[in-house]
Amino acid sequence: MFMLSDADLKKHILGCSDGPAAFNAGLSARGGRVVSVDPVYQFSAEQIWAQIERVYPQVMLQMQQNADHYIWDSISSVEVLGATRMDAMQQFLADFETGLEAGRYLTASLPDLPFGDRQFELALCSHFLFLYSEHFSLVQHIESMRELCRVAEEVRVYPLLTLDGKPSDYLPAVREALSTEGIETCLQTVDYQFQKGATQMLIARA
């Protein structure tokens, strides 16, 4: 979804809002340099697993009800999606303790990140900013993008749609606010689409 090249994967990467996903575990196993931040890392692996088990049936039911919002080709059904997500979460959980000790998983929440200026070459944020526009305000979006651009040379965000599949109203205002601060943004079409219409990522460079 982020069009990551081999050169990108060699960069020092910040995974923001990574949650219980497998990106950090997979890239670290390949020798990549990645730090993930998410508020959920304040909990233990057992607590995160208990939460996953608790919400899993509800999430699957919602996916069934909203199935026509998604494109079912590479992932053929809700059941396959559930199994794929569960596999990724197991990979995360198996890596979590080791990654915590190595400083690869840190508890932090946008819009404040515990990093120095330009500490990372690339920051990635998937399925949080813009997607949760109903729960995270425009001001929080602007502050978050500003903060990501402070800590990383380049920031990529995907998707740019809200949970109901509509373009986030915040996108133009966020881009305008960044522009007035000298941060250039562009939209790039990606080679991934699961949520219907989620064809673009936002790229920001200070």
Tell me how far, at minimum, the Cβ of 179 lies from ligand SAM, in Å.
Answer: 23
The stretch near ligand SAM (CB under 6 A) out of 53-61, 123-131, 170-178, 197-205 is 123-131
- Which of 14, 18, 92, 145 is the binder for ligand SAM (CB under 6 A)? 18
Distance between CA atoms of residues 109 and 39, nearest Å: 5
Distance between CA atoms of residues 137 and 8, nearest Å: 30
Distance between CA atoms of residues 107 and 109, nearest Å: 7
- Which of 24, 28, 126, 162 is the binder for ligand SAM (CB under 6 A)? 126
The stretch near ligand SAM (CB under 6 A) out of 53-61, 121-129, 162-170, 198-206 is 121-129
Give every CB contact of residue 76 below 8 A, 6+ residues apart in sequence.
none
Tell me how far, at minimum, the Cβ of 122 lies from ligand SAM, in Å.
Answer: 15
Distance between CA atoms of residues 205 and 154, nearest Å: 5
Distance between CA atoms of residues 126 and 136, nearest Å: 15
Can you read off the two tokens belonging to residue 128? Answer: 């949080």
Question: Is residue 127 a contact point for ligand SAM (CB under 6 A)?
Answer: yes
Of the candidates 37, 40, 191, 186, the residue with the CA atom closest to the CA atom of residue 110: 37
Question: Is residue 90 a contact point for ligand SAM (CB under 6 A)?
Answer: no
Question: Is residue 110 a contact point for ligand SAM (CB under 6 A)?
Answer: yes
- Which of 10, 29, 39, 205 is the binder for ligand SAM (CB under 6 A)? 39
Q: Which residues in this chain contact ligand SAM in the complex, by CB under 6 A?
A: 17-19, 21, 38-40, 109-110, 126-128
